[in-house]
Amino acid sequence: MDKPVRAGDAPIRVDLEKGKDYYWCACGKSSNQPFCDGSHKVEGTFKPLKFSVEEDANKALCTCKGTKNPPYCDGTHRK
Ligand code: FES
C-alpha cells in the first residue's frame, strides 16, 4: 500500500483541547476517523500524525487523506 485509502469525501469537524495529543489517521483505514485506531499496523506503510493545538479549537480534519496540510482539510477532497 503506497497510497492512503480515501476514508471520506468531506472533512470531519472536531473539538480539540489545548495541550492534548491527538493522532490523525494517515492511512485512511481507521474506523475512528479522523483519528488513528491502530489499523495502520497491518500494512505498516503509514504512521499516524501526532499533533496538538495551542488553544481549544474546532477544526476540520481531513478524511480524503489528500491534504497538503495534514491533519487539516485544505479543500483537496473537492478535486
Ligand atoms: S489507523 Fe490510519 S494511521 Fe493509524
- 18-72 residue pLDDT tens: 999 999 999 999 999 999 999 999 878 899 999 999 999 999 999 999 999 999 9
Q: Which atom of ligand 1 is nearest to the CA of 46?
A: 3
**Residue 64: which of 7, 23, 16 has the closest Cα?**
7
Q: For residue 52, what is its C-alpha cell? A: 496538538
The per-residue pLDDT for 10 is: 98
CB 74 within 8 A of CB 66: no
Q: What is the 54 CA–ligand 1 centroid distance (Å)? A: 23
Q: Looking at ligand 1, which atom is closest to the CA of residue 30? A: 1
In the reported structure, the alpha carbon of residue 42 is separated from the centroid of ligand 1 by a whole-number distance in angstroms of: 10
